[in-house]
Structure 1
Amino acid sequence: MTENVKTITLTANDGNFELQQETANWTLRADQGYSPVQMLASAAAACGGYVYQEVLENSKVPFEMKKAEVAYTRDEVDNKAHPLKEIELTFYLQVPADLQKKATSCLRLINRNCPVVQSLDPKITISEKAVFVD
């Protein structure tokens, strides 16, 4: 392995896998915490949000990020594993009215600059939108 390898240990506990944290472990199981698929979709949203904020800063667009939402669908028909089919990222932020068009244009740079999105199967459709709030 190369020197860039990062390791995360998941602890097995009563048939569940847990991601260890200082304050409390995160159970990676849908009926007891977040499922691995939910974590994957959330990782795309968080990573996309960080990239979007950086793009806005580099584009000199003042903003205040309020929240990000992720909606996803799974392929329930064509694949027995039910992998992710679509991910929609929605960012809620404040941007001056005269710069909202520019902020919307910046969305197109998220996918090509987000390492999580770049790591996903290209068959997964990923879309982004900005909702401007007061």
Structure 2
Amino acid sequence: MELISSKRGFELVHQSGNWLLKKDSGFSPVEMLVASIGACGSYVYETILTNSKISFTIKKVEISYERDENRPTKPLRKVTISFFINVSKEAQGKAERAIHLISKNCPVIQSLDPSIDVVEEVFFV
């Protein structure tokens, strides 16, 4: 991976077009971290559901976050990943239990400071 400095800010070089990492014109580095947490958690959840032979459709994933306003750099304090999925009534309990396997199987979440609270929740649609 390579970052380049441009007039617009730092850009992450990508073959399909560079990603601007600047809050006012693209995604901030903190937003990119939160997106990485959500994407990794989503791929892991998808894999867990598939391996558990649960028929499902992930309709959307919403990721929200809170920062620790009491610390000078305002690091992440909490990230919530909300999964909106379609699964049969019979499989909903199993799908709910499966969310507890995400954090221990997600390399991005495992790489975070342990003080960052990651909450996974599922809503059936």
What TM-score do the two structures reach when normalised by structure 1?
A: 0.90
Which residue number in structure 1 is paired with residue 108 of structure 2?
116
User: Which amino acid in the other structure matches residue 112 of structure 1?
Assistant: K
How many angstroms does 1:52 deviate by?
Answer: 0.3
1:106 and 1:15 map into 2 onto residues whose CA distance is: 42
Which residue number in structure 2 is paired with residue 3 of structure 1?
none
Deviates more, 1:20-29 or 1:60-69: 20-29
Which residue number in structure 1 is paired with residue 91 of structure 2?
99
2:19 and 2:122 map into 1 onto residues whose CA distance is: 29
Is 1:82 aligned to residue 82 of structure 2? no
Is 1:34 aligned to residue 27 of structure 2? yes
1:69 and 1:131 map into 2 onto residues whose CA distance is: 11
Is 1:125 aligned to residue 117 of structure 2? yes
| Aligned positions, number | 125
The alignment yields a C-alpha RMSD, in angstroms, of 1.0
How many angstroms does 1:21 deviate by?
Answer: 2.5
Is 1:22 aligned to residue 15 of structure 2? yes
Is 1:69 aligned to residue 62 of structure 2? yes
Deviations 1:73-128 (A, max 9, x none): 00011x10100000000111111111111101000000000000000000000100
Match of residue 47, structure 1, among 40, 58, 62: 40
What TM-score do the two structures reach when normalised by structure 2?
A: 0.96
1:18 and 1:36 map into 2 onto residues whose CA distance is: 11
Deviates more, 1:58-67 or 1:17-26: 17-26
2:5 and 2:41 map into 1 onto residues whose CA distance is: 30
Structure 2: state its 5+ residue gaps.
none
How many angstroms does 1:15 deviate by?
Answer: 6.0
